[in-house]
Amino acid sequence: MHIVLNHPLVAHRITLMRDKNTKPKLFRELVAEVTSFLAIEALKDLRTEEIEVETPITVTKGRKIKDKIVIVPILRAGMGMVDAMLKVLPSAKVGVLGMQRNEETAEPVPYFAKVPAANGDELALVVDPMLATGGSAVDAVGQLKKLGYRRIKFLNLISAPEGIAKIESEHPEVPVYTAAKDERLNEHFYIVPGLGDAGDRIFGTL
């Protein structure tokens, strides 16, 4: 299952992100803003519990989140989404998965993993700006499953149909939330029209 955000505020920001003349500072801000929209959409089904709260006027019932949440960025570009996720989920834990793309095969090469221990009930939110071939996303979800995570969602900014299809094939129970679904991958496995290398644009390493 994949969900594409259909909102003019998101579309406006994605257009600015695609612009090759957008500088890293603004690009980072746009990534954070779109990430917030993604988080709100992806977390509509968070589990809550009823509590009693005293307002300045009276005592009433309210709800608080009871889910335990772990944010898992895929290094390095995924780090550009973490601050925005933590603003929405300030009590969440953060784990990281390091993967480097083999430029010849486009396959992911894992090189680092530091993720909190799981008991199977946590909600893991994997974040990575680009979903191209889907290799890194599929590998990340597989690693989390081996660590005991059973509830996993994947959040990203730009998706290629090939990447979405790969996740749906390998991990059909993992929903994909994306801000834009693009046309295709080119011969170099970059998303078309895309926005270039998200990591380079976030960190100014063009």
**Residue 105 designated active-site:** yes
Q: Six-digit token pair at 70?
A: 């772990």
- Catalytic residue status for 197: yes
Based on the residue annotation, tell me whether 121 is a catalytic residue of this protein: no
Active site residue 101: yes
DSSP β-ladder status, 2-4 and 123-127? unpaired
Decide if 84 contacts 35 (C-beta within 8 A).
Answer: yes
End-to-end CA distance of the chain: 34
**Among 187, 178, 171, 181, which Cα is nearest to 157's?**
178
Classify residue 206 by its DSSP letter: -
Nearest-angstrom CA–CA distance, 77 and 52: 41
**Among the options 18, 28, 101, 150, which is catalytic?**
101
Q: Name the catalytic one among 105, 121, 184, 205.
A: 105
Q: So which residues are the catalytic ones?
A: 101, 105, 197, 200
